[in-house]
Amino acid sequence: MENHNFENEGKFQRKMTSRHLFMLSLGGVIGTGLFMTSGQTVKVAGPFGAVLAYLAGSIIVYLVMMSLGELSVAMPVTGSFHTYATKFISPGSGFAVAWLYWICWTFALGSEFLGAGIIMHDNWFPDIPSWIFALIFALIVFTINALSTRSFAEAESFFSSIKVMAIIVFIVLGLGAMFGLITYNGENRAILFENYTKNGLWPKNLPTFLSVMLAVNYAFSGTELIGIAAGETENPQETVPAAIKTTIGRLVLFFVVTIIILAALLPMNEAGVNASFATVFSQMGIPHAGDIMNIVVLIAILSAGNSGLYASSRMLWSLANEGMITKKVVKVNKYGVPMRALIVSMIGALLCLLASRYEDSFVFLALTSVASFAVGAVWLSIPLAQIRFRKEWRKMHSDNDLAYKTPFTPILPWITVVLLFISIFGGIFDPAMSVGIYFGVPFTLFCYLYHYLKFKKF
């Protein structure tokens, strides 16, 4: 995808293969949203509620990805959501979507790096502040992204493979602990699903269940990176649909099965941000299992941060390319990297430094909450844009001309819109996650107002 609105400003390179695209989407998803906030979801919604929430989240993300697949195959551009929303909803919507997605990933970067700092501080270096480790992780991620698109993709493939292996090991050992084949908490007995019924099958009410859906959206965020990277992918008409099919199936398997096992082994009154995967491994009696899992979580955080910086820099470039912010950001160097956008997007690292002045766990949840709202709002724009796109497409083409199409349009996309709306504003029932709504709604309105005042149109 070349800088189609500016000349002599460099161009992106189509260096990503289908393997890179698949591993990129996994890398963006499997991070703190699964390894750390899943424990908080079990605590808030209860074991059964957490499983249902992740099942619902997997359905929502699959519906969103079908709409995104149609758009990104028909128009494989860098910064896709912004472009689609601008063209098929309104310029103001595109402006808001781009900034929300940039906020999503810069805040997510803050939570990823802070999560790394919390792990390093709590487990190995209690005398060193969390923000120092957060800064180290930020510098590593920045360096990987700054080298080239190819180096970023290869690093992400390596990180993602480690995370996938770790989840498979967790599933195998977790099932062993559930059925009494592996010692857990000093006992050799079949735990099975007793933690599901210990406090009643449904210990929480419906508002509490809805409240965790915002966090679940955040856990699945990153799948949409397939659309972002379409403009830097070889043969997107084939690689994008293939990546969507393989990614969604594996994500549902990894997330839902993992949460079933986690909720079975981790009592809800012991779960939380600081009690999740590593806690379960440490209870299995495997030497240094907790430390090993914490290292894996750190790799997962590094990977998700790597993907997040890539996504936020490309979205910022897209804003500049459309003339909505200064053209100075649109410069792409000879390695295919929008370096100026990359530097600006590293503001996420500064969030980690600011967070060191407050309670780490609280700030981590606050950053997660804002990122959760932002990704939910961005996802909301995708089926809305696809509905309008299909109307425009039918004026000159047949649906059969589409290389990839969303079935049952517009009914299924409208169902997606309703489910997303419920999951986004269900977060109002959770004090920790409602921070994102209180920040996100005014910020979105401000984006529309600013765009109108500057460009005289919504």
* Maximum alpha-carbon separation in the chain: 69
On the question of a cis peptide bond just before residue 410, with omega within 30 degrees of 0, the verdict is yes
Say what the pLDDT of residue 208 is.
76
Q: Report pTM.
A: 0.82
Q: How far apart are CA 71 and CA 406, in angstroms?
A: 9
Length of the chain measured in residues? 458
Tokens of 203: 């210990």
Tokens of 446: 């401000």
Q: Is residue 349 domain-resident?
A: yes
User: For the chain, how many structural domains are there in total?
Assistant: 1
Residue 94 carries which side chain, given as an amino acid letter?
G
Q: Hey, which residues does 337 pair with through a beta bridge?
A: none
Q: Is residue 11 domain-resident?
A: no
Domain that holds residue 421: 18-455
**CATH number for 178:** 1.20.1740.10
Tokens of 419: 């489910």
What one-character DSSP code corresponds to residue 157? H
- Using alpha carbons, list the distances in angstroms from residue 318 to 107, 144, 231, 347: 19, 21, 11, 18
Say what the pLDDT of residue 26 is.
63
Q: Is residue 1 domain-resident?
A: no
pLDDT in tens, the chain (458 residues): 444 555 555 565 555 566 666 666 665 567 666 766 677 788 888 888 888 888 888 889 889 988 988 898 888 776 677 889 989 999 999 999 888 888 877 777 777 787 788 888 888 888 888 778 888 888 888 998 888 777 777 777 787 788 778 888 888 888 988 888 888 887 888 888 888 888 766 656 777 778 788 778 777 877 777 766 666 666 767 777 777 777 667 777 777 888 888 888 888 777 765 556 777 777 887 777 777 877 887 887 777 778 778 888 888 887 787 777 777 877 887 777 888 888 988 876 676 567 555 665 666 667 778 888 888 999 999 999 999 999 999 999 988 888 888 989 899 999 999 999 998 888 787 777 788 888 889 999 999 999 899 887 77
Residue 434 carries which side chain, given as an amino acid letter?
S
Say what the pLDDT of residue 387 is.
96
Upper half-sphere CA count for residue 172 (Cβ side, 13 Å) = 6
Q: How far apart are CA 72 and CA 404, in angstroms?
A: 9
Q: Is residue 391 domain-resident?
A: yes
Q: Is residue 3 domain-resident?
A: no
Q: How far apart are CA 284 and CA 184, in angstroms?
A: 4
Is 12 in contact with 150 (CB distance < 8 Å)? Answer: no
Q: Is residue 256 domain-resident?
A: yes
**List of residues 6+ apart from 270 with CB closer than 8 A:** 279
Say what the pLDDT of residue 3 is.
44
Tokens of 432: 């920790």
CB-based burial, 170-186: b 16+ in 10 Å, e otherwise: bbebbbebbeeebebee
Q: How far apart are CA 114 and CA 121, in angstroms?
A: 10
